[in-house]
Amino acid sequence: MKQTRFDLNNDIAWCPGCGNFLLLQLLKETLDELDVDPTNVVISSGIGQAAKMPQYVNTSFFNGLHGRALPVATAISLTNPELLVIAEGGDGDMYGEGGNHFIHTVRRNPNIVHLVHNNMVYGLTKGQASPTSQRGFKTPLQTEGVILEPLNPLALAITLGAGFVARTFVGNRELTKEVIKQAIAHKGYALVDIFDPCVSFNKVNTFAWYKEHSYVQGDDWDASDKLQSLAKSMESDPYPLGVLYKNPEEQPSLTEMHPAYQEEDTPLFKRKRSVQELTALME
Ligand SMILES: Cc1ncc(C[n+]2csc(CCOP(=O)(O)OP(=O)(O)O)c2C)c(N)n1
Ligand code: SF4
Ligand SMILES: [Mg+2]
């Protein structure tokens, strides 16, 4: 396995064969190839198998409450805009428990990269349905099969105004790295939904299934037409992979719009606190 400056030598608590191992390696290689300084990266995550990932990467990280990776990432990015901030976790964590934060983070447009390991299941809690589980998927809880249509995070993000929306599959190494690189280069919120199999609790959506049921969108794809991209994001089986939407017009990020940065650009964490002002606010 390729060595990177982002390697850590700790024990990894994932099942052998889990797709997360691939994504972990690909993320480390991507950051390494971009020559990012490990001390300049912060990964924010919540709870789940996917959300353990920052513990295995040589960067700063914040591993907090279930579904709360996005507001933490937003705050980190606002406090120190020079950091590369990644919010990372699973389909349950980001679209279920964190669904409210997903919606409003897209609207706020903070300068963060949002990586979602989409295995269409709650892996950590042993196989219940997640918001992206497919209709008919049987679990120990949904014994007759899931009765709802799955959430479409890409279409949702596009309609909420996200400037960068992509999907990839961990089995496609080159595409995954390329898409993450483009997400990092994008100014503002960037969503990357990543098909990433859970080999223990999803025996339907396997490596072979994801490969068979997806295709890479060709180089001739025009990702700048919002309505066309929305229609593309709603295609399923086969699912299109690649950067499906990229707003050709740069939108102001949350940092640029925020009142705290209108009159001075000193990062918030470097500004002096006035005890008197704080006391007055509290009173
Ligand atoms: C508020 C709250 N609700 C539920 C749980 C239990 N729980 C922990 S992880 C998880 C689901 C994780 O699924 P996902 O985010 O898809 O991650 P995966 O394990 O599949 O990578 C749940 C329901 C919890 N810890 N906290
Ligand atoms: S339960 Fe699934 S998601 Fe969790 S480590 Fe095992 S294979 Fe990976
Ligand atoms: Mg999951």
The pTM for the full model equals 0.97
The pLDDT-based confidence of 277 (bands split at 50, 70, 90) is confident
State the architecture of 19-253 in CATH terms: 3-Layer(aba) Sandwich (3.40)
Give me the mean pLDDT over the 250-264 stretch. 96
- What pLDDT score was predicted for residue 220? 94
Atom of ligand 2 nearest to the CA of 20: 8
Cβ of residue 124 lying under 6 Å from some atom of ligand 1: yes
pLDDT tens, residue by residue, 185-207 = 999 999 999 999 999 999 999 99
Min mean pLDDT across 136-140, 251-255, 277-281 is at 277-281
Cβ of residue 48 lying under 6 Å from some atom of ligand 1: yes
Count Cβ atoms below 10 Å from residue 222 Cβ, excluding itself: 10
Give me the mean pLDDT over the 207-221 stretch. 96
Looking at the predicted structure, is the pLDDT value of residue 273 above 90? no
Measured in Å, residue 93 CA sits from the centre of ligand 2 at: 14
Looking at the predicted structure, is the pLDDT value of residue 40 above 90? yes
Cβ-count burial 122-161 (b if 16+ within 10 Å, e if not):
bbbeebbbbbbbbeebebeebeeebeeebbbbbbbbbebe
Average pLDDT for the chain = 97
- What pLDDT score was predicted for residue 6? 98
- What pLDDT score was predicted for residue 34? 98
Cβ < 6 Å from ligand 2: which residues? 14-15, 18, 20, 49, 119, 123-124, 198-201
Measured in Å, residue 230 CA sits from the centre of ligand 2 at: 31
Residue nearest to atom 1 of ligand 2 (CA): 123
What token pair was written down for 81? 């805009």
- What pLDDT score was predicted for residue 118? 98
Domain boundaries, the chain: 19-253
Give me the mean pLDDT over the 242-257 stretch. 97
Measured in Å, residue 145 CA sits from the centre of ligand 2 at: 20
Residues pairing with 169 in the sheet = 195
Are 181 and 86 within 8 A, CB to CB?
no
Q: Pairing mode, if any, of strands 84-90 and 41-45?
A: parallel
The pLDDT-based confidence of 159 (bands split at 50, 70, 90) is very high
Atom of ligand 1 nearest to the CA of 66: 26
Residue nearest to atom 8 of ligand 2 (CA): 18
What token pair was written down for 163? 């400037």
pLDDT tens, residue by residue, 126-146 = 999 999 999 999 999 999 999
- What pLDDT score was predicted for residue 266? 96
Looking at the predicted structure, is the pLDDT value of residue 274 above 90? no
Give me the mean pLDDT over the 21-37 stretch. 98
- What pLDDT score was predicted for residue 165? 98
- What pLDDT score was predicted for residue 189? 98
